[in-house]
């Protein structure tokens, strides 16, 4: 269970950060924090897709009705794909930064990176270092799977809770 001061601290940090949505599962308890702005972003996306659907049949309007029907069938597809992609992204595990600091993808300049897309990892695999004030924090994956994407650049400042990697469990 999270202590109340820990919860308060999490809320404070999320509030100050650019993080839109935050989920934490810990020993059976689950905390979800979502900023109001987040749902607005989703709503904005949907009319955009609808517009694409509408413009597609708009252009070939003089063509035969059969074709138009086909177009209408084809047109919704991008929407479905987008939803599937979003769902897929959602199903991917995000390794997030446990603190504010500088992201390093390798132990020292010139060395190979800890991990790259395609690499199989387990819970104890070190995926990167986050450093602040000469405190070096080797981040372990805490999940096993395959690295799909590295979301930040070497040397970039990362926020508390910022996603660093996408992992296919």
Partner 1 sequence: MKEKILQIFKDANGDFVSGESLSKALNCSRTAIWKHIEELREEGYTFEAVRRSGYRLISSPDIPSQVEVQTGLQAKELGREIHYFGAIDSTQHKAHELAKGGAPHGTVIIADQQAGGKGRMGRPWHSPAGTGIWMSILLRPELPLYRCPQLTLLAAVAVVQAIRETTGVRAEIKWPNDILVEQKKLCGILTELNAETDQINYLIIGIGMNVNTEDFPSELRDIATSLRIQVGTPVKRIPLIQRILENLEKLYKLYIEYGFSPIKSLWEAHANTIGKRVVLRQLHGSLEGLAIGINEEGTLLVRKDNGEIEKVYSADIENASSPST
**Minimum CB distance to partner 1 smaller for 1 or for 61:** 1
**Minimum CB distance to partner 1 smaller for 9 or for 72:** 9
Instruction: Tell me: does residue 154 bind partner 1 (CB under 8 A).
Output: yes
Shortest distance (Å) from residue 134 CB to partner 1? 5
**Minimum CB distance to partner 1 smaller for 115 or for 129:** 129
Contact 128, 154 (CB under 8 A): no
Residue 42's Cβ-count burial label (10 Å; 0-12, 13-18, 19+) is exposed
Which 122-151 residues touch partner 1, going by CB under 8 A? 131-138, 140, 142
**Segments in the chain forming alpha helices (H):** 4-16, 36-58, 65-74, 77-91
Positive or negative, the CA dihedral 147, 148, 151, 153 is positive
Shortest distance (Å) from residue 28 CB to partner 1? 13
* Binding-site member from 26, 54, 55, 81 for partner 1 (CB under 8 A): 26
- Could you give the strand order of the β-sheet that contains 120-121, starting from the edge strand earlier in sequence? 93-96, 163-168, 145-150, 120-121
Please count the residues of the chain.
169
Tokens of 112: 């190979």
Shortest distance (Å) from residue 85 CB to partner 1? 27
**Minimum CB distance to partner 1 smaller for 6 or for 45:** 6
The footprint of partner 1 (CB under 8 A) covers 6, 9, 13, 24, 26, 98-102, 104, 107-109, 111, 131-138, 140, 142, 154-155, 157, 160
């Amino acid at each position: 269970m999270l202590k109340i001061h820990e919860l308060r601290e999490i809320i404070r940090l999320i509030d100050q950060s650019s993080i839109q949505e935050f989920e934490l599962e810990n020993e059976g308890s689950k905390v979800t924090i979502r900023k109001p702005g987040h749902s607005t972003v989703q709503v904005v996306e949907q009319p955009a897709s609808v517009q694409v659907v509408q413009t597609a049949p708009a252009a070939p309007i003089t063509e035969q009705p059969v074709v138009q029907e086909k177009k209408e069938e084809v047109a919704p597809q991008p929407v479905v794909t987008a939803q599937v992609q979003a769902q897929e992204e959602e199903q991917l595990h995000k390794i997030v930064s446990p603190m504010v600091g500088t992201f390093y993808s390798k132990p020292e300049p010139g060395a190979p990176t800890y991990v790259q897309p395609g690499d199989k990892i387990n819970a104890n695999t070190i995926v990167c270092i986050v450093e602040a004030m000469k405190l070096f924090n080797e981040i372990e994956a805490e999940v096993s799977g395959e690295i799909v994407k590295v979301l930040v650049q070497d040397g970039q400042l990362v926020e508390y809770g910022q996603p660093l990697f996408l992992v296919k469990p």
